[in-house]
Amino acid sequence: MTIDTPITLVVLDMAGTTVSDDGTVERAFLAADAAVGLAADDAGRRDMLQYVRDTMGYSKIVVFRHLANGDEDLARRANAAFESAYREIVASGGCEPILGAADTIHALRAAGVRTAFTTGFSAETQEALLASLGWTDIVDVVLTPADAGRGRPFPDMPLTALIRTETESVQQMVVVGDTANDVLSGVRSGAAASVGVLTGAHDEAALRAAGATHVLASIADLPSLLGLAVPAVLEAR
């Protein structure tokens, strides 16, 4: 099933959607716990990881505020330890593009579609990630929760992308992500489609339950969903 209305803006999540996340985000959470002591014991650590999985896609500082039970200083130290652990993973080459992600973005832009990256990371970590992938200029707009107001599951990042790109209507926007919270932010923004991908944190049932209009095996299936010419490099996968 393709999307028939003309789409001029695609809002893309990063980790798990366009960038691989083979447990790297969870590893960084565990490193933060080891550094500042969020969980009291193993049972607490299991609960923490479950909460981290359920809230994947949220602004990370918001997740740490919950895990720190309102202790703002602890939350900030945990977030700093998380960001530093994740940036070490990035620096050691632990984050790679999802297969076909760059070709998909090039295909969108070649078709005149504006593109935006959204994330739950801080701007510094997002910049480090983009630099490590050579993606500094690959999309039109790059956003963190701080740029928009609130992170997911709120619609602030997709709507800020719409405003920044001067897109005429939410009916011309598609939001794509690997988590229920990404999908929910798309639904709440009124986007023409909120698309889930299966290369990240949440499964098809979770994405559908959040209101995904479409679920794709990966971002590489997006050009054909939008009825765009599929580059040979993507056909050949």
Site residues (CB under 5 A) for Mg ion?
13, 15-16, 178
13 or 33: whose CB is closer to Mg ion?
13
Short-list 17, 60, 5, CA closest to 217: 17
User: From the CB of 235, what's the least distance to Mg ion, in Å?
Assistant: 26
- 83 versus 178: smaller Cβ distance to Mg ion: 178
Nearer to Mg ion, 118 or 160 (CB): 118
Q: How far is the CB of 64 from Mg ion (least distance, A)?
A: 17
Residue 9: beta bridge partners? 114, 173
The string over 44-58, giving b where at least 16 C-beta atoms fall within 10 Å of a residue's C-beta and e elsewhere, is ebeebeeebebbbbb
Residue among 172 and 199 whose Cβ is closer to Mg ion = 199
- Whose CB is nearest to Mg ion? 16
Pairing outcome for strands 141-143 and 214-216: unpaired
- The distance of closest approach from Cβ of residue 52 to Mg ion in the complex, given in angstroms and rounded to an integer, is 12
Our CB check for Mg ion shows the closer of 60 and 77 to be 60
- Which lies closer to Mg ion via its Cβ, residue 56 or residue 75? 56
The closest of 158, 155, 204 to 179, measured between CA atoms, is: 204
Determine how many CB atoms are found less than 10 A away from the CB of residue 170. Answer: 17
Least gap, CB of 129 to Mg ion (angstroms) = 12
Rounded (to 5) percent helix, strand, coil in the chain: 50, 15, 35
- Closest separation in Å from C-beta 101 to Mg ion: 12
Scan for tokens 């918001």, then name that residue: 62
Q: What angle do CA 194, 132, 219 make, to 5 degrees?
A: 25
Query: What is the nearest approach in angstroms of Mg ion to the Cβ of residue 94?
Result: 15
Which residues, 6 or more positions from 24, have their beta carbon under 8 angstroms from its beta carbon? 15, 86, 89, 94, 95
